[in-house]
């Protein structure tokens, strides 16, 4: 008889990659039917409940507690699996770095004084403290961590600006500095175009398209999604634009962001007009009555931004994969009478946003956990503690949003949650189309198609058995030089029946036209001063201190950069009162 057992470890911290490995190890043990290894947040408990893994002990856990749950064929198998947890946690990958690991950023800086950057991917409630320590030591910060408060972001960026330092983030997914990718980054050739982006996958998509179009980049600076909010005031965007404006190797600059407030947008446009270089600005989805202001071109999609930049740089379009031209006919499928909706499962927040922007030209309403309009928020996320476990009509989910990533690896690194949701959506008799992104590059999953393609094939087979058809469309973001091998990834997805595109615009054109055929109705008509950052940050060889996900340090070393891993643990055992006292003693608060 099936049995479930749980362990709750109070205030326990482990790298998210360690937790992923533990879950996979446990799932492979004899007699195991289901495993959950998550932090005890409300969203994670909802996911456990949906997977029939929420035990009373797990339900009683606090948000900073580690929950380990196994469901097995019998109680003996469940007990045997949990008895191996400590053994499995102690295991390290064979290629893991075994060199000396300092226990603090300060000790790491003494060991590697040439390190100009600190990469931070620890839980959000600790990340600001680590960033303050990095700034105190005169280091630039790549702040991957999410769930950092807006107040902390404002304080960190203002402090950095006064010191001529950069804070990329929080929730900064990607950057490329002097040819080295930080976080999630595609391998792209060097070229004349520099990028500044308040979006991770937006930056990746544009940099990948520049490579595909035969051009390349100098540097790409992610700023974090809130940088252009009125509260933050575009501090890092301004620093990035100023830095690339002074960089002699950067001939053209591209700025990509979701639409900021009108005031911030006006301020940024005034700032870019002061830079004496061609600049392409893409406030994704925003409509412009004027498309050309002096040397500033205004784009409406990521693909157009890349094309305008290549034109401005005078580059020759290469032979890489390009979007399908307008007018191509969607493939014919035999849909049942009730099939009419699309469900998008995105790992990239900006790609999910652009998909919504483009899709609203084809259907009246697109729901999301991160919607364009508040009234289109999924009902299951209407409360502060939502879980977006139930889609409504046409739904585009951002699975990289905060509610899904607390205590879990980002979906670019771990496909588990997305595969579960994909199979769930495929079982919905009203779903006709599944739409997803597959983001390649350093830091991302080493072989995403190996896990996604079998799940997609299984979903399509299940739909056929029920007398339905499924169209699966994937936007693959990457280059032919990425470590995953873009060609092999595309081939594997296509073999599973996936329609592969290389930009969101082409994918939505296909999806939108299919939806219109299934839903025959007319679509609705719907400057602060900055202390200059020294140009040496763009020129000196990359050397960084990594605090958090070890895979980021591995990625740096794979690219020929120097990296030192900090053996980080929450200060004061995670006691927030003691953390505050320690911070004041160091002069951080």
Confidence of residue 362 (pLDDT cuts 50, 70, 90): confident
User: What confidence score (pLDDT) does residue 290 get?
Assistant: 58
- Retrieve residue 308's tokens: 């305008």
Task: Report d(CA 224, CA 496) in Å as an integer.
Answer: 35
pLDDT mean over 139-163: 95
User: What confidence score (pLDDT) does residue 502 get?
Assistant: 94
User: What confidence score (pLDDT) does residue 97 get?
Assistant: 47
- Retrieve residue 55's tokens: 């035990």
Task: Report d(CA 3, CA 26) in Å as an integer.
Answer: 15
pLDDT mean over 85-93: 77
Highest average pLDDT, of 21-25, 198-202, 484-488, 524-528, comes from: 484-488
Superfamily grouping for domain 341-518: Succinyl-CoA synthetase domains (3.40.50.261)
Task: Report d(CA 193, CA 378) in Å as an integer.
Answer: 38
Q: How many CB atoms lie within 10 A of CB 541?
A: 12
Task: Report d(CA 116, CA 545) in Å as an integer.
Answer: 8
Q: pLDDT for 32-66, tens place per residue?
A: 999 999 888 888 888 889 888 999 999 998 877 88
- Whether 380 shows a pLDDT value over 90: the answer reads no
Name the architecture of domain 105-320+563-585: 3-Layer(aba) Sandwich (3.40)
CA distances from 454 to 317, 448, 470 (A): 35, 11, 15
Mean pLDDT, the chain, rounded, equals: 87
Q: How many CB atoms lie within 10 A of CB 111?
A: 15
Task: Report d(CA 589, CA 570) in Å as an integer.
Answer: 17
pLDDT mean over 460-469: 93
User: What confidence score (pLDDT) does residue 265 get?
Assistant: 87
Q: pLDDT for 384-401, tens place per residue?
A: 444 567 899 999 999 999
Highest average pLDDT, of 5-14, 197-206, 332-341, comes from: 197-206
User: What confidence score (pLDDT) does residue 405 get?
Assistant: 83
**Cis peptide leading into residue 170 (ω within 30°):** yes
Percentage of the chain exceeding pLDDT 90 = 65
User: What confidence score (pLDDT) does residue 36 get?
Assistant: 92
Closest C-alpha among 460, 430, 442 to residue 474: 460
Q: pLDDT for 552-589, tens place per residue?
A: 999 999 999 999 999 888 875 555 555 565 565 555 44
- Whether 461 shows a pLDDT value over 90: the answer reads yes
Q: How many CB atoms lie within 10 A of CB 372?
A: 19
Q: Which residue has the higher pLDDT, 570 or 354?
A: 354
- Whether 338 shows a pLDDT value over 80: the answer reads yes
CA distances from 313 to 135, 215, 274, 386 (A): 35, 8, 19, 45
User: What confidence score (pLDDT) does residue 525 get?
Assistant: 34
Q: How many CB atoms lie within 10 A of CB 426?
A: 22
Question: What element of type H or E holds 163?
Answer: helix 150-163
- Whether 316 shows a pLDDT value over 50: the answer reads no
Cα 98 to its chain centre, rounded Å, is 28
CA distances from 38 to 44, 59, 139, 200, 588 (A): 7, 12, 32, 24, 31
Confidence of residue 463 (pLDDT cuts 50, 70, 90): very high
Closest C-alpha among 404, 431, 406 to residue 344: 431
- Whether 94 shows a pLDDT value over 60: the answer reads no
- Which residue intervals of 31-123 are DSSP H helices? 42-50, 56-59, 75-82, 85-90, 105-111
Tell me which of 70-84, 158-172, 240-254, 257-271 is least confident.
Answer: 257-271
CATH of domain 3-90: 3.30.70
Helices 576-585 and 124-136 cross at an angle (nearest 10°) of 10
**What residue ranges of the chain are covered by domains with CATH 3.30.70?**
3-90
pLDDT mean over 215-231: 95
Handedness of CA 359, 363, 364, 365 (dihedral sign): negative
pLDDT mean over 452-464: 95
**What residue ranges of the chain are covered by domains with CATH 3.40.50.261?**
105-320+563-585, 341-518
Task: Report d(CA 151, CA 131) in Å as an integer.
Answer: 14
Closest C-alpha among 556, 562, 565, 557 to residue 541: 562
Strand partners, 67: 8, 38
- Retrieve residue 495's tokens: 């073999």
User: What confidence score (pLDDT) does residue 395 get?
Assistant: 97
Kindly report the backbone phi and psi dihedral angles of residue 84, in degrees, each rounded to the nearest multiple of 5, phi listed first: -100, 5
Percentage of the chain exceeding pLDDT 70 = 88
CA distances from 346 to 1, 399, 419, 433, 560 (A): 37, 6, 11, 14, 31
User: What confidence score (pLDDT) does residue 530 get?
Assistant: 66
- The SS3 assignment for 488 reads helix
- Whether 195 shows a pLDDT value over 90: the answer reads yes
CA distances from 279 to 47, 191, 203, 254, 577 (A): 44, 15, 15, 6, 47
CA distances from 481 to 191, 208, 440 (A): 15, 10, 10
User: What confidence score (pLDDT) does residue 516 get?
Assistant: 86
Task: Report d(CA 325, CA 164) in Å as an integer.
Answer: 45
pLDDT mean over 370-389: 70
């Amino acid at each position: 008889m099936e049995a479930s057992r749980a362990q709750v470890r109070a205030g326990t911290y482990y790298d998210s990659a360690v937790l992923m490995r533990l879950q996979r190890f446990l799932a492979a043990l004899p007699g195991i039917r289901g495993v959950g290894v998550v932090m005890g947040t409300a969203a994670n408990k909802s996911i456990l409940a949906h997977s029939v893994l929420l035990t009373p002990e797990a339900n009683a856990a606090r948000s900073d507690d580690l929950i380990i749950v196994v469901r097995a064929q019998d109680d003996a198998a469940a007990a045997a699996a949990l008895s191996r947890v400590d053994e499995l946690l102690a295991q390290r990958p064979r290629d893991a770095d075994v060199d000396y690991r300092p226990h603090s950023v300060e000790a790491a800086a003494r060991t590697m004084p040439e390190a100009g950057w600190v990469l931070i991917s620890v839980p959000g409630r600790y990340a600001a403290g680590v960033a303050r320590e990095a700034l105190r030591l005169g280091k630039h910060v790549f702040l991957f961590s999410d769930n950092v408060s807006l107040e902390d972001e404002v304080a960190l960026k203002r402090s950095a600006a006064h010191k001529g330092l950069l804070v990329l983030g929080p929730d900064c997914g990607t950057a490329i500095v002097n040819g080295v990718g930080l976080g999630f980054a595609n391998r792209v050739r060097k070229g004349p175009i520099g990028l500044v982006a308040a979006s991770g996958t937006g930056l990746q998509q544009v940099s990948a398209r520049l490579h595909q179009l035969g051009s390349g980049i100098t540097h790409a600076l992610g700023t974090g999604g809130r940088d252009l909010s009125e509260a933050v005031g575009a501090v890092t965007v301004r620093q990035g634009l100023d830095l690339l404006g002074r960089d002699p190797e950067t001939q053209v600059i591209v700025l990509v962001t979701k639409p900021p407030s009108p005031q911030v947008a006006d301020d940024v446009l005034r700032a870019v007009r002061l830079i004496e270089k061609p600049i392409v600005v893409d406030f994704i989805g925003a409509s412009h009555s004027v498309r050309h202001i002096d040397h500033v071109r205004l784009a409406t999609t990521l693909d157009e931004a890349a094309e305008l930049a290549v034109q401005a740089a005078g580059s020759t379009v290469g032979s890489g994969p390009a979007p399908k031209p307008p007018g191509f006919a969607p493939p014919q499928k035999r849909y049942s009478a009730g099939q009419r909706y699309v469900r998008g499962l995105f790992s990239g927040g900006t790609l999910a946003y652009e998909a919504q922007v483009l899709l609203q030209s084809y259907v009246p309403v697109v729901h999301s956990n991160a919607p364009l309009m508040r009234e289109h928020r999924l009902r299951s996320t209407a409360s502060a503690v939502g879980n977006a476990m139930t889609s409504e009509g046409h739904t585009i989910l951002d699975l990289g949003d905060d509610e899904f990533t607390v205590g879990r690896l980002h979906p670019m690194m771990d496909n588990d949650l997305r595969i579960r949701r994909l199979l769930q959506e495929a079982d919905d008799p009203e779903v006709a189309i599944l739409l997803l992104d597959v983001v390649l590059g350093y830091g991302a999953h080493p072989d995403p198609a190996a896990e996604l393609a079998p799940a997609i094939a299984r979903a399509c087979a299940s739909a056929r058995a029920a007398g339905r058809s499924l169209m699966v469309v994937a936007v693959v973001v990457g280059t032919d030089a990425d470590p995953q091998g873009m060609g092999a990834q595309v081939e594997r997805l296509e073999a599973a029946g996936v329609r592969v595109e290389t930009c969101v615009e082409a994918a939505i054109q296909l999806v939108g036209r299919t939806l219109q055929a299934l839903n025959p109705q007319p679509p609705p008509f719907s400057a602060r001063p900055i202390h200059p950052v020294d140009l040496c940050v763009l020129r000196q060889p990359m050397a960084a201190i990594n605090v958090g996900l070890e895979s980021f340090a591995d990625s740096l070393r794979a690219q020929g950069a120097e990296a030192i891993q900090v053996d980080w643990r929450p200060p004061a055992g995670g006691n927030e009162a003691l953390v505050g006292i320690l911070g004041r003693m160091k002069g951080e608060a």
